[in-house]
Amino acid sequence: MRLPHIETTRVVIIGAGNVGPTTAFALMVQGIASEIVLIDIDKKKCAGEVLDLTHGISFVKPVRIWAGDYSDCKHADVVFICAGAKQKPGQSRLGLLKPNTKIVSEIVKKIVKNITRHTKKAIILVATNPLDVMTYVALKVSGLPPYQVFGTGTNLDSSRFRWLLAERFGLAATSMHAFLIGEHGDSSVPVFSHANIMGKNITELPEYNKAAAEEAYKKTKNAAYDIISRKGATYYAIALSVAEIIRAILYDENHVLLTSSLLTGQYGLRNVCLSLPSIVGRTGIKKIIEIDLAPDELEKLRKSAKVIQEEIKKVKL
């Protein structure tokens, strides 16, 4: 019997450390992709992670998972980069600039060799830190258009922030509308002027407490340091954040997410990658939304852009 041709949705994950396999798990449990490929220079660990994941396939929607190589990128819809050095306890994300520039550049060259020879427009999504600089590196090395190469940004930070604020107001995190823009790192900007519950700004609510709201941001900013000091790495929440972004791409959802991409004049900023609310679909970043910011938020965003621009200057491609 001749079987019909089945359109697949393939996600290739480069990096089988903590973040890569956890992301594969999140994709698999939610049935987001029909093919998941893991690649890592540590082939033994990669093979082990794949075995562990495949042993759960009978519990979830049909999916093929294998340890692959760069030739698998040729049929990819999304190539997700999470390979490279991770923060040591107390180390800032920016401290990873040198080793990870080299790793991300090498990886992107290999990806591009494979995806550009084929018709599918694969999206390159970056999570390796320092995220905004690595997104810029991936974009420049790839030579692809800015909408096709972007980073996971402050989508995770925004989830942390929403949960912390929601706890204060006794709400579900999904009912709390709040987000961070700018660097995925120490200069991120909480947008209190747009933090709301069904359109009502949190500052107008009787339960609002300025010190508590600021504490929620402080905890958000320090979340990775806190987790890394306790367990060495963060991976569950980033995996869920990445799964949300990949679903938005594969299903052409036009979901507004906090991803990091090249700015082209928004708020007068250009030639820097940072997070702003962005419409994400099958072609990648369809639009960056320029919302009204309070004067102090705009000032902080400019400072954040400067931090990233200074780091970009140190990069030798």
Catalytic site residues? 184
CB of 99 to ligand NAD, least distance (A): 9
126 by Cβ neighbours in 10 Å (0-12 / 13-18 / 19+) ranks as buried
By CB under 6 A, the residues from 240 to 299 that bind ligand NAD are none
Residue 18 sits in the site that holds ligand NAD (CB under 6 A): yes
Q: At 104, list the tokens.
A: 């991300």
Residue 312 sits in the site that holds ligand NAD (CB under 6 A): no
Residue 15 sits in the site that holds ligand NAD (CB under 6 A): yes
CB of 270 to ligand NAD, least distance (A): 23
CB of 40 to ligand NAD, least distance (A): 4
Find the distance separating the first CA and the last CA of the chain, reported in whole Å: 52
Residues 73/111, Cβ–Cβ less than 8 Å: yes
Spatial CA neighbour of 100 closest among 135, 58, 130, 123: 130
* Contact string 105-144 vs ligand NAD (x = CB under 6 A): -xx-------------------xxx-x-------------
From 30-38, 113-121, 165-173, 234-242, give the range in contact with ligand NAD by CB under 6 A.
234-242
Residue 228 sits in the site that holds ligand NAD (CB under 6 A): no
Residue selected from 135, 142, 152, 275 as contacting ligand NAD according to rule CB under 6 A? 152
Residues 259/150, Cβ–Cβ less than 8 Å: yes
Residue 248's Cα: distance from chain center in Å?
12
**Taking the C-alpha atoms of 184, 170, 229 and 21 in order, what is their torsion angle to the nearest 10 degrees?**
-70
Q: What whole-number distance in Å separates Cα of residue 44 and Cα of residue 90? A: 29
Residue 184 sits in the site that holds ligand NAD (CB under 6 A): yes
Spatial CA neighbour of 53 closest among 241, 72, 45: 45
Q: Which residue is nearest to ligand NAD (CB)?
A: 17
Residue 101 sits in the site that holds ligand NAD (CB under 6 A): no
By CB under 6 A, the residues from 38 to 77 that bind ligand NAD are 40-42, 45
Residue 163's Cα: distance from chain center in Å?
18
Residue 14 sits in the site that holds ligand NAD (CB under 6 A): yes
From 54-62, 82-90, 212-220, 249-257, give the range in contact with ligand NAD by CB under 6 A.
82-90
> How many amino acids of this chain bind ligand NAD (CB under 6 A)?
33
Strands 78-81 and 10-14: parallel
From 11-19, 142-150, 167-175, 279-287, give the range in contact with ligand NAD by CB under 6 A.
11-19
Spatial CA neighbour of 70 closest among 105, 109, 102, 17: 109
The residues that bridge with 279 in the sheet, in sequence order, are: 256, 287
Spatial CA neighbour of 74 closest among 37, 125, 111, 40: 111
CB of 295 to ligand NAD, least distance (A): 28
The contact set with ligand NAD (CB under 6 A) reads 14-20, 40-42, 45, 82-87, 96, 100, 103, 106-107, 127-129, 131, 152, 156, 184, 233-235, 238
